[in-house]
Amino acid sequence: MNPNEAFLASGGIEAALAQDDDLAAQEHLAAGFPIYYGDDRYPDEIIKEYPDGRQQLVKVALDGQIMVIRDL
């Protein structure tokens, strides 16, 4: 098991997410880059949010290609 797998298996990821203040996401948006996150309302998709506030529902293919499902 590599260090990343060990961290994920330890439950440490849940603790880290519980303490997340969204600062990194806000900095990423401020730098002009979109962010990606999950939402319980869309369990099989991911939300892509742009710096201007637009949001899209997307899926990521196994080859890494991002497919837009619809605008939110």
Under the phi-then-psi rule, with left for phi > 0, alpha for psi from -120 to 50, and beta for the rest, what region is 35? beta
Instruction: Reply yes or no on whether the pLDDT at 71 is more than 80.
Output: yes
Q: Which residue has the higher pLDDT, 7 or 33?
A: 33
Instruction: Reply yes or no on whether the pLDDT at 6 is more than 70.
Output: yes
Supply the pLDDT for residue 2.
76
**Which residues does residue 68 pair with via DSSP β-bridges, in sequence order?**
58
- At 7, is the pLDDT very low, low, confident or very high (cuts 50, 70, 90)? low
| pTM above threshold 0.85 | no
Write the pLDDT tens digit of every residue in 18-46.
777 788 899 989 999 999 998 999 999 99
